[in-house]
Each structure stands twice: as structure tokens, then as C-alpha cells.
Structure 1
Amino acid sequence: MAKDKRLAAGYASFDRTKTYTLTEAIKLVKGNARAKFDETVEISMNLGIDPRHADQMVRGLISLPNGTGKTLRVGVFARGPKAEEALAAGADVVGAEDLAEKVQAGEIAFDRCIATPDMMALVGRLGKILGPRGLMPNPKLGTVTMDVKGAVSAAKAGQVEFRAEKAGIIHAGVGKASFDDDKLIENIRALADAITKAKPTGAKGTYLQKAALSSSMGPGIRLEVASLAIGAAE
């Protein structure tokens, strides 16, 4: 009941038929983030794509300038010196067949999965488990690599993966409600820029169609798409 009242009060604080600049929306989102924890600020973007076509898939990684404020758990499939390198870089779970057995048993204690190339025959057998969770390592995303230290460090530093869902919508956390407005603006525009640069060749018409900003427990606020561009007027 308290959550419903809080959400109703949030919707009453702005005009739901209006679109807001990024600066205005951030102030509204932060003002409505009244949960007892530091809520995540989340953005959703509707893209003019059809992800059912291979040439219109949008996916990538970006290191947000100010991090996400979230502690990401990183799992690494590696052996020998590379396993030691992963642990030294701060990986939470490292292993080979032993880690695969844990995953098969439903014990998935990581939010990002990295693997060295020689481990992909083993990891590939876990595709039906890791794939639907968006955890399958991918060379194009830099999560299949010999640079284990760099990949783990980037993930821990606030790297965000973005991926269009079936309806062509991308959801991503861009920071915490406790972040300064300027830091949230910088993060959001960096993400929007990365998504814009990832525009597939098969996409026709308007690419970035709609966007909305919210906190974990707060209402969604419609954004003026033009205000997402780097260098846009405040």
C-alpha cells in the first residue's frame, strides 16, 4: 500500500503527457526516489529496429564515465596463469570444469561472464543456461579475451552492457539517485552516444524514437530525445 501511494504521489508530481529535457527529468526522478535504499536510475530507449533480423541487432558495452554505483559480480572461465590473473584483478568466481558444474547446478554467482578463448568449447555447452540470462561470453563484446585483467577491471569499474530486446527496447541502469545531476547526465549521454554509434545498417527511418527515465521504485518520465545528445542544451 505504501508503495502504491508513493507511486501515485510520484505521478502527481509531473505532467504525464509532456516530454522533459534530461536535466528536468533527472530532478523529477531524484525527487521521487523515496525508497529506503539508494535507488538505481534507469533509462529505457525505443529504437526503430526489428531485432528479429540479424542485421538490426543492437548490442554493446560501454564504460560509463562515472560508473554505475553498483557492485558487479564477475565470473571468469580460465585456467592456470589466466585464472590467477582474473583473481588478482578482482573476479568473484574463477574456474573451469568446476565452475561449469556449478552453473549447470543453477549456482550462478555472477552478473558478467568472461572467458579465455580456449575455454569456449566448455562454456559453449552452457549456452542454454547462460544465453537466456544475457551472460554468454562474446568476442565482439570483449568478454572472450586473453586480456582477462582488462576485462575484469572494466566490468568492475562500471561497464554497462546494452542489448535490444524483442520489441527493440533497451533498458540500462545509469547510476544511483544519490549521484550528482551532472554525473547522471554525463553517464546517460555517454550511453545514448554508444547506442547511436551502434546503429545497424539495416535500420531505416528514425532510430532513437522514444526514451524514458525512472528510478527503481519511481514512475517513468518521458524524455525529449534531442536532449540525450552530447553537447545538447541544458
Structure 2
Amino acid sequence: MAKQVQAKLTKREQGWTVERDKLHGVEEAITAVKANARAKFDESVEISVNLGVDPRHADQQVRGVVNLPSGTGRDVRVAVFARANKASEATAAGADVVGAEDLVERIQGGFLEFDRVIATPDMMALVGRLGKVLGPRGLMPNPKVGTVTPNVAQAVKDAKGGAVEFRVEKAGIVHAGIGKVSFTDDALLANVRAMVDALSKAKPSGAKGQYIKKIALSSTMGPGVKVEPSTVAQA
């Protein structure tokens, strides 16, 4: 019988101090994620939530936006499609790039130095030309997540201040960044709870049985830490 060959652990993996298969309380999990973040930069903290949905069905889609109370720790670059007064409002609110036809041409020419795209409703016919560019990157403005709105100033402030979009993937999993390892435990806890609460409120009508099945936290270069879902609820 052939011997099983175990994968050799890297030096980073050898230094991890976490039981990978154990379910941790959410506060314990946050402590473990921070303790195992050994990179020489401020690693992002990410959450993965396995939902009891089948995204192939229209009535089991999960999509939305959540305003993380502690912010994301990221400098979010925002592009806005707007004209006249709305363009001025977006600029005043801190948008990184604002335009109309000129911005369409820049993006068609390869300009993609932004993380969020916001548009006023009247601009969507124009933005639609960029569907093949923005769509695959998850950047297409959508009224369901507040990125198609006449209130561009507030949308820009939200994006800059900690608004995170989420969307379930084919395997029924939602991934999102919820902060940095430099955040305090309490700040990360508040963000975890806000994210899970938003997912709970976004439960689709077609979801049957257990909805939030598994939760895991990790840092950019660290191990995944499994979380007992029942410990995430607000105290």
C-alpha cells in the first residue's frame, strides 16, 4: 500500500498556534487571528461565511451592503459618474475621480484605479457601456447596494467610511474584509457582528434549513480560525 505523503509545513505554518478544526468563541477567534498574524505589514482581517443557500436559484441570492462601525482600515478609492451639481457634490465629499463620457473613455482605455463605482440614476445608460469591464470585477453600480443613487455625496462618504458590499459566491460563501490586525479586539468584534447581522437580515426567501452554517476568520497570511456561529450574536 502506498504511503500517504504529508505536505511539508512552511516556517510560517509551523509557527501557527491555533487548533484548525476546533470551533472557537468569536472573541477567542479574534485573539487567535491577531496572535498568528506574523507578516511585516498590517494584515487585513477577513471573514468567510458559509450560507445555506444555492445561488443558482434566483430566490436564494444574497447581496447587500453593511456599514462597519469600526471602518475597514483601507483607503477606498471611489469613482463617480455624475454631471453638473452632482459631480461637484461627489468631489466635495471626497471622490477620487468624477466624470461622465470622459470617465467612460478613460476606463475603456484601461484606467481601473478605483475600488468602488457610484453613479446617479441618469448616468446608468452611459455606465452600461462598461458592463464587460466593471461587471466581472464586481464594480458595476447597483441600486440594491446603494451605488446607484441621487445622493452621491452620502454614498461617497459611506464608501470612504466603512461601507462593505457583500455577495454570495457560487459555493454559497460570502467573503469580506472586516478590518486590520492593528484594530482592537472590540473594534473587530463590532465589525464581525455587524457583518453577520447584515447577512442575517439579507436572508433570501428561498433559503431553507440552517442559514448561517459556518464562519471563519483569518488574516491575510494567517490560518483560518473556525467560529462557533452562536457566539457572534450581540450580547
How many Å apart are 1:9 and its aligned residue?
1.6
Greater Rg by CA: 2
Counterpart position of 2:50: 46
Distance 2:86 2:10 in 1: 49
Q: Does structure 1 residue 130 correspond to structure 2 residue 139?
A: no
Unaligned runs of 5+ in 1: none
Moved more, 143-152 or 98-107: 98-107
In structure 1, the residue matched to 2:155 is: 151
Deviation at 1:15, TM superposition (A): 1.7
1:91-170 to 2 correspondences below 5 Å: 91-170=95-174
2:70 aligned residue: 66
CA distance in 2, matches of 1:62, 1:186: 12
CA distance in 2: counterparts of 1:53 and 1:161, whole angstroms: 20
Number of aligned residue pairs: give it: 227
Q: Secondary structure at the match of 1:175?
A: strand
C-alpha separation in 2, matches of 1:191 and 1:230: 12
* Match of residue 213, structure 1, among 189, 212, 217: 217
Is residue 2:15 matched to residue 1:9? yes
Q: What SS is found at the alignment partner of 1:126? A: helix
Q: Is this contact kept in 2: 1:7–1:217, CA < 8 A? A: no
Question: Do residues 24 (structure 1) and 32 (structure 2) align?
Answer: no
SS of residue paired to 1:193: helix
Long gaps (5+) in structure 2 = 1-8
TM-score with structure 1 setting the length: 0.95
Match of 1:188 in 2: 192
What is the aligned-residue identity percentage? 65
* Whole-angstrom CA distance in 2 between matches of 1:31 and 1:109: 33
2:82 is the counterpart of 1:87 = no
4+ residue runs over 2 A deviation: none
Amino acid at match of 1:220: G
Query: Which residue identity does 2:14 align to in structure 1?
Result: A
What is the Cα deviation at residue 102 of structure 1?
A: 1.5
Q: What whole-Å deviation, never above 9, does each CA across 1:144-174 have from its counterpart, x for those lacking one?
A: 1110100000100011111101111000111
Structure 2-normalised TM-score?
0.94
